[in-house]
Structures are given as structure tokens and as C-alpha cells.
Chain A
């Protein structure tokens, strides 16, 4: 069994409630931090742990906290990013629904470290029933002296509020989230200034993902050094993976970042393989924005090594032959799935979600959707494939926020690795509307370049 740090107690009956959570060791980390550590010492532990942001970018959390500006007399804010809208990602929801006090405790410790007295959880509007769960947990924490004024007699004050969004993927981007929290459209801001200097209401602000903030609890409990012993290399600790698509056991899994991709997909402890005896065709391992990989490159790197569920291994080979850990949204496609159609659905998603500020993203995403729909509907031309490549190149890097990149990468990777399938669609339009290209050669072992002989 893999070791767990976040969901180890999630199965306990009633863990959603304060009494059960407390009886099972809950708020011990908060007690330790507030009563025996200084805010800087908490940040030091988080640095030592090697924790990297779980929202998608993987930025070191302790380092991010140390950038927070601390001008005299200006409030500082912590905002918890629970927008969770990247297709394939549903892990934060699990954590908030089943073990909400873990997040509240994480927010308390993190707010203490950052010197924030007012903290917001920004949750996607569609998760309409979860604010009730969080607000109940907040009320319980208040009643037991873990929130409000002079917490546990330490002199530290904190209030936590839940803010619902209203349907906009872009509000997961931290500056769009801040705009939304100020009651505006979710248009990302130009950086700099970064939120650490000018964020919510122009005050210094840290935005962190739900899972990141929950992970602070075990870090304080066991210490940063101990936490860093989990995982591999710079991928320390555990990671929540939300697995979906063609799998026997889709769901949320906490993994110790030391297992292989193959084990994650096929072992009974995790996803239990692919249903109906089908074969694996492709996978998007880190949420819809990261590159799709064909089965052969997913399970083994271009160097022929076993690919592992770590930030480094998933990225091995860069975008040419690798992908990314991203948000941990693991999307599996079996041999019956059409990569063109799947890519079209993602292009449609990004077109729908573009905020419209930057022309390359606003226009380019719509254009990609249209061209992909044509190819999918048997009306594509050979030149459309190069056109798609050209459009995505012109979006990438040319927008205020990374949504443009996030829209470009899935299209680029699909063409890079599945060009045959696109060509088949445009060359055999009548057949392509009736059946799928199938597995083709996408699971065949790849030739591995022999290491250069020593001269």
C-alpha cells in the first residue's frame, strides 16, 4: 500500500465533523504551529518539505510565501483557489467534501505563517453544495476556538469566508480569481505587479490551491524533512490524482510520488486497468492543458526508461516526447477513442472559456475549434493540419495569461503525436465519420536510440 498523508483518515466515519476530526489527531498541527512556532519557522518547514503548488504550475510553496510583501499597516490576504475547472481534475472537491477540516486547519496554519487575518476560499460556483459543508466546518472551528479572535489564547485572529464563483474556468488563474473576488469579470491582470505585492484590493496576497494548503498540515505534523522523504527527488510528498476516462476504477487517488505510470493505470490498488479488455491508446496525464501522449510514450520515456508519476519523469523529454504533472487530472483514452474528436472537444472548451481580452486567444481558440470540427465531420483539407499548427503557434506566448498556452498545447501535442490520425481523417472523410482510426501503431514499442559508443 502506498503511504498517505492527506486522505489517510478520509474513510473514517464522521471525519467531516469537528469532534471526529479532532479525536483523530486533527488540529494538532495548528496547535503546534500557533503555540510553539513563529510564522517564519512555519514557512521554513514548508520550504524544507519541498512542497510544490498542486494547482498546476508546481511552483515551490515556501518560496512563494517568502515573496509576500509585508509593508507596515497594510493587510495581507491568503486566498485558497478552489476553482477546480481544468477538465479531468476533481481532486479538490473530494478533499473539501470528505475532510473539510483538513483544509480549514491548513488555512489556519498558512494564514498564521503569512500574517493574514482574513482568508477567502474561492470555490467554483457549480460546486453549489460544498460551501455548506465548508461553512459548517468553519462554524465548528469557531465554536472550538480555532477561528475568530485570539485563537487558543495566542493573540492571532483569523476569519475564513467562502466565496462562490459563477462559472468561468479563467477564474482559476490567480489574477482573474482576484478580479472575480473583487466583484468583477474574470479578466486576468498584467503581471507585474504580482499578487504577492499587489493582489486582492491592491494588498499583498498569496493564492494557493486547496491541496497545497491541506498538505501544510502533515508538513507541520511530521516536519518538513520527514515530508520530503516521501516521493522522489524534487517531487516530494504525496499527490492527489483524479483519474478518469476509460478506466475500471476512475476516482481520486493519493499517490506517493514513487510509483510508475503503468502501476497507476493497471494495478488494482489504483485504477485497475482498462475496461472490456481494451487497450490503452493515449493519455493526458495532468489535466486538459498538458500534452497528450500515445500509449508507448506514456509508459516509457523516449530513452526507454519506465515513466514515473513524478513532476520530473512526466516531463522527461520536454514537450517533444513528454508531458506534465499539471493539476493531476489523469485522462485515459482506450483504443476506441478518436483523438481528433477529443481534441475538438478541448478546443471547444478553451474557446468557451477564453475571457476575450487578448485577440490571439479569443480568435485563435474559435478558429481551432472550427477547423477541428470540419476535420471531425469529414470536411477537412490536408492543409488544415498545418493551419492548426500555425494557429496554435501564434497563440502560445502571445497572451496576458497562460490560458492561451493551455489552449495551444493540447492541439500541438495531438498533431505532434497523432498526425497519422488527422491525415486519415482528411484523406478518408467518408470512412472517418463512420468509424474511428483505432489503436493503430500508438502502443507499439518505440525504437530506443542506442547510447553513443564511447570514442
Chain B
């Protein structure tokens, strides 16, 4: 698959660049990398990063530096559904350990792994700013809060249904 934004996304890139003063288009890098990750399979390949560099007229190394610094950018392929479960203190005292164990058991994978069918990846992440609604995880754009085992079952079933 050649890495190339659609016309609509290219317009979005232009709109992002226009947020900054003349000549400061490098500031668009982080938002454009988000757009690229969403558009090209949920992760950033070297090809994707080089494409972003060419769009913003910066050196590829400037893109690699940034992509490797921020934890939301995936530098390897991930499953279609990425479960990012918070395990920091406040979530921990509210039972996140049990939720992580339960997800491992249900999906048959360890933290950092992807299911054989390529549907699910499980990650533990640091505080997502939802500590009062713990345990919780990020799933795509949104948060799933107040997790229980039953709620985890529902979420997995919803994902499977959507994938079919």
C-alpha cells in the first residue's frame, strides 16, 4: 500500500499547518502523525514517517525523534482493538490488577501481545486522567471506565461483533 493521504486528509493537513505562523509548519508534526497513524493501519512505519516528513518539508530524522518519544505512537503493528489499561497508583488501589489479569485470561495473551487473529492487543499504560472512574482503559478515541469483569466481557463481545 503506497502511503498517501486522501484529498480530504490533505486538506486537513493544510488546515493544521494554517494554525501556526508562517514558516512554523513543524508544529504540525504531532497532529499530522496522529492523522497518519489513524489513516495507515494504527501504527507508524518508516515509510509513513518519511511521507510525513516530506509533507511538512522537514528531515525524516525530525519525525523519527518525535515518533519515538511519545507513547501514543505505535512503532509496530497492533491489533485492530488496542486495550490500553491504566495501572498507575489510583487505578491500582481501585482494582486494575484484577482487570488486567482477567483480560489476559480472556484473550489468552500477555501484556504487550496481540491475539493470533490480529484483533486485540493488550497494553498497560500510565495514568490517563480518569482516576476517579477507575479501573479504566482507553479503547481507540474513547475511555471505558468503571471496568468490571462483566463489563470487560461486554467490550470484548462488542469488538468481536464489530469486526465481523
Contacts and interface: CB of A to CB of B under 8 A. Distances in A.
Given A165-B70, A183-B29, A185-B66, A124 B129 contact: yes
A251 B133 CA distance: 8
A185 B73 CA distance: 13
Given A84-B129, A161-B19, A186 B69 contact: yes
Contacts, number: 145
A349 B26 contact: no
A306 interface: no
Interface stretch (A31-39, A125-133, A216-224): A125-133
Contact of B131 (A87, A180, A181, A349): A87
Contacts of B65: 184-185
B39 interface: no
Contact of B132 (A242, A288, A346): A242
Interface string A206-222: 00000000000000000
Contacts of A377: none
Contact of A185 (B26, B69, B131, B132): B69
Contacts of B58: 183
A67 interface: no
Interface stretch (A9-17, A166-174, A385-393, A426-434): A166-174
B127 A87 contact: yes
B89 A164 contact: no
Contact of A89 (B69, B129, B138): B129
Interface centre among A75, A84, A125, A348 (most CB of B within 10 A): A125
B88 A346 contact: yes
A84 B131 CA distance: 12
Contacts of B62: 183-184
Interface in A258-302: 284, 288
A20 to B, nearest CB: 24
Interface residues of B, number: 42
Interface stretch (B30-38, B110-118, B148-156): B30-38
Given A125-B70, A168-B69, A118 B21 contact: yes
Contact of A125 (B72, B90, B140): B72
A399 interface: no
Given A75-B21, A90-B132, A349-B126, A341 B92 contact: yes
A331 B89 CA distance: 9
Interface centre among B72, B129, B130 (most CB of A within 10 A): B129
A126 B89 contact: no
A128 to B, nearest CB: 4
Nearest to A284: B89
Contacts of A345: 87-89, 92
Contacts of A355: 69
Nearest to B63: A183
A337 B91 CA distance: 12
B4 interface: no
B129 A166 contact: no
A246 interface: yes
A242 B133 CA distance: 11
A245 to B, nearest CB: 5
A243 B132 contact: yes
Nearest to A184: B66
B147 interface: no
Contacts of A128: 140-142
A244 B27 contact: no
Contacts of A87: 88-90, 126-127, 131
Interface in B61-86: 62, 65-66, 69-73
Which bucket holds chain A's interface residue count? 35 or more
A252 B133 CA distance: 11
Interface in B134-148: 134, 138, 140-142
Nearest to B140: A128
B46 interface: no
A126 B138 contact: yes
Contacts of B70: 125, 165-168, 186
A242 B127 CA distance: 14
B159 interface: no
A163 B30 CA distance: 9
A183 B26 contact: yes
A93 B72 CA distance: 19
Contact of A181 (B27, B90, B141): B27
Contact of B90 (A167, A168, A244): A244
Contact of A169 (B28, B93, B126, B141): B126
A242 B31 CA distance: 28
B71 to A, nearest CB: 4
Interface string A232-255: 000000000011111000111000
Nearest to B94: A245
Contacts of A85: 126-127, 129
A163 B34 CA distance: 11
Given A184-B66, A288-B88, 17 more contacts: A85-B126, A93-B129, A118-B21, A166-B70, A168-B70, A183-B27, A183-B29, A183-B56, A183-B58, A186-B69, A245-B90, A246-B93, A250-B131, A329-B131, A331-B131, A342-B89, A342-B93
29 contacts: A75-B21, A84-B129, A87-B90, A88-B89, A93-B129, A93-B130, A125-B30, A128-B140, A129-B142, A165-B30, A166-B33, A166-B34, A166-B73, A168-B70, A169-B127, A182-B24, A182-B27, A183-B26, A183-B28, A183-B30, A185-B69, A201-B24, A245-B94, A245-B131, A250-B131, A331-B90, A342-B93, A345-B88, A352-B71
Q: Which 10 A-B pairs have the closest CB atoms?
A: A166-B70, A167-B71, A167-B72, A250-B132, A183-B29, A244-B131, A183-B26, A87-B127, A185-B69, A244-B132
